[in-house]
Structure 1
Amino acid sequence: MEKLIQEAMLAEHKKMESMLKKFENHIGEGGSSIKEKLNEIKWNIQKHFFIEENAVFSLYVPASSWEVSSVDRILREHEEIMKLVEKAEKNLRRENVDKVISMLRSHAKFEDENFYPSLDEQLNSEQKEKILGRVGEIIKG
């Protein structure tokens, strides 16, 4: 059976969700511990966005208006999420951290339930293999 891009990206989203849950459990601690955890999350967000923007979107040419608007939405959300992370780094208030977490979850949900299933339907096996090959290179190093 053919491997799906959705499966690979869902696995990445699950890793991120696990990190977010651990982070939520430590938010009340404050101090350097919470800053370190936020920095770790930021690093993982940046890696994830790099995968999407350079392994997936560089090989995928959206055809329909829905696909174009979906890619635009995802890229716009990447920018918004990074701005929220930077704001949370500068001011570690609970509401700033909660906005980051909420936006990440909403973003992942859209990708998992809408974008990646559609992408898997649109691409042929060769295109999927190329994308998954690049995703694997980035993840495994």
Structure 2
Amino acid sequence: MNNTKIINEISKINEIKSMDLTQLMGDDHRNIMDHFARFFLLANNNNEEALHVLDSLCWELERHLLIEEKEVFLSYPIKGVKDQEMVDRLFKDHREILHMIESIKSKISQNIHVDCSELKTLWIDHEAFERDIFYPTLDTTLSDESKMGIYQKVNTLIEDRSKS
């Protein structure tokens, strides 16, 4: 490995160590929120375009949930009932969000008027809980090595997203 590559790798490692998961996943949440915002504007106004945006939203959301459920949530150190309840709530929120989206998608496909307020509220509450409580707690409990592992997997999936 030449010196430039070594310097770049060291720089990446230092960048990862200085980044917290709250920031990293917050960036991904903003991407998903942009998809939600576009969808909410189109719902009941332009069903064809709304379905297209909803498909894109589902892809981004499923990728995001995969990261959280397979990497992040399982990395959370469960020290008691309260910790387990918090992680269980996040899994439950994910299932509810996906279920609501499928229901809305089905209605739009049938040209039935949809009410997105429940989905909007659930997503906003879920995102705020992760941003304000879950990720800051995780940032203070995980080692830099664990955070680096999550960071690298998240970046791989984000890079895959930008290629498609």
Is the pair's TM-score, using the shorter chain for normalization, greater than 0.5?
yes
- Please state how far the C-alpha of 1:76 moved relative to its aligned partner: 0.8
Correspondence for 1:110: 129
Structure 1 regions of 5+ residues with no counterpart? none
Displacement of 1:27 after TM fit? 2.1
1:85-124 pair list within 5 angstroms: 85-92=101-108, 93-95=113-115, 97-124=116-143
Q: CA RMSD in A?
A: 1.6
Partner SS state of residue 47, structure 1 = helix
Contact 2:107 2:114 in 1 (8 A): no
Gaps of 5+ in 2: 1-16
AA partner of residue 40 (structure 1): S
TM-score, normalising length from structure 2?
Answer: 0.78
Q: How far did residue 120 of structure 1 move?
A: 0.4
Query: Identity over the aligned pairs, expressed in percent?
Result: 24
Structure 1 length normalisation: TM-score? 0.89
| Structure 2 residue aligned with 1:45 | 61
Aligned residues: 140
Q: Could you say which residue in structure 2 is the equivalent of 1:2?
A: 18
Taking the aligned partners of 1:87 and 1:28, their CA distance within structure 2 comes to 14
**Match status 1:16 vs 2:32:** yes
Q: Residues 28-67 of structure 1 correspond to what in structure 2 (within 5 A)?
A: 28-67=44-83
Q: Based on CA coordinates, which of the two structures has the bigger radius of gyration? A: 2
